[in-house]
C-alpha cells in the first residue's frame, strides 16, 4: 500500500497497472486523504479534553495516523497512537517514517492480535480507532468479533473510522486474476448494520470520488 500511496514510478506495464491505472489504486489514495482528514478533525475536536489516544488496527506502518498527527504538529503530551498489527514487517519502515515526521514520541508499534486487545493493551482505552485496509479481508463473523473486541476497550464517546468496498468499475475479476486479490464487498449500509449490532452508532458516511470506498465514522455511545 505504501507504494500506491507514494505513487512510486512503475518499473513495467504490470507495475503501472498496479500503481497507476487500476481504479482501486486511485481510490486507495483518495481514501488515504479522506481518512487522514477525518482523523485530523476527530483529534482536534478532542484535544481540549486532554491527551488523545489513538489506535490503528492492522496498521502496518500507520501512514494515516502518522500523517494526521504530523499535520497537526501534535506533541506526545497531546496525542499518542498505538499501532497494532499481527505482522511486524512494516514496523521498521513505520518507525523511520515517524522519525522523518518528527513524531516518534507520539507513536508505539505493537505486534499482536486485536481480538485479544484487552490482554495486549490492558490499560489503554482509545478515543479514536482507525480500522482501514483490513475488514475487506474478514468475513462477517470475523468482523463482528473484531468490532466487539474494539467496542469493549474503547472509551465511551470514542470514535471508530472504517470503510466498505464496492466494485463500480468491475475490476474484481482482473484483481483476482492478475494480483490474486479478493475482497469481501460491503456497502456503507452493510458496514453500518454490522457496527450497530455491536453497539456503535454511525454518525457520518462519505464515499471517495472513485465510488469504491464508503468511509464510515461511528461512535461508541457514552452509556455503552
pLDDT tens track for 167-201: 997 776 666 555 566 899 999 999 999 999 999 99
**Average pLDDT estimate for 27-48:** 95
Give CA–CA dist 101/41, Å, rounded: 19
pLDDT at 22: 74
Q: 48-94, pLDDT tens digit by residue?
A: 888 999 999 999 999 999 999 999 999 999 999 999 999 999 999 99
pLDDT at 178: 56
Residues 5 and 63 sit within 8 Å (Cβ to Cβ)? yes
Averaged confidence pLDDT in the chain:
89
Burial per residue of 102-124, b for 16 or more beta-carbon CB atoms within 10 angstroms, e otherwise: ebeebbbbbeeebbebeebbeeb
Amino acid at each position: 500500500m505504501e507504494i500506491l500511496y507514494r505513487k512510486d514510478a512503475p518499473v513495467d506495464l504490470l507495475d503501472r497497472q498496479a500503481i497507476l491505472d487500476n481504479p482501486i489504486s486511485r481510490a486507495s489514495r483518495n481514501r488515504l486523504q479522506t481518512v487522514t482528514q477525518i482523523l485530523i478533525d476527530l483529534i482536534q475536536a478532542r484535544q481540549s479534553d486532554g491527551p488523545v489516544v489513538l489506535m490503528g488496527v492492522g496498521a502496518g506502518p500507520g501512514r494515516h495516523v502518522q500523517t494526521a498527527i504530523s499535520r497537526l504538529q501534535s506533541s506526545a503530551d497531546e496525542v499518542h497512537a498505538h499501532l497494532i498489527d499481527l505482522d511486524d514487517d512494516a514496523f521498521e519502515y513505520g518507525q523511520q517514517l515517524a522519525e522523518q515526521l518528527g513524531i516518534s514520541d507520539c507513536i508505539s508499534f505493537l505486534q499482536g492480535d486485536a481480538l485479544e486487545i484487552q490482554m495486549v493493551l490492558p490499560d489503554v482505552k482509545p478515543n479514536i480507532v482507525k480500522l482501514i485496509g483490513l475488514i475487506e479481508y474478514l468475513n462477517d463473523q470475523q468482523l463482528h468479533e473484531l468490532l466487539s473486541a474494539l467496542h469493549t476497550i474503547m472509551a465511551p464517546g470514542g470514535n471508530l473510522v472504517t470503510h466498505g468496498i464496492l466494485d463500480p468499475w468491475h475490476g474484481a475479476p482482473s484483481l483476482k486474476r492478475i494480483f490474486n486479490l479478493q475482497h469481501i464487498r460491503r456497502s456503507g449500509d452493510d458496514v453500518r448494520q454490522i457496527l450497530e449490532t455491536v453497539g456503535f452508532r454511525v454518525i457520518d458516511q462519505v464515499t471517495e470520488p472513485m465510488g469504491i470506498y464508503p468511509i464510515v465514522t461511528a461512535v461508541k455511545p457514552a452509556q455503552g
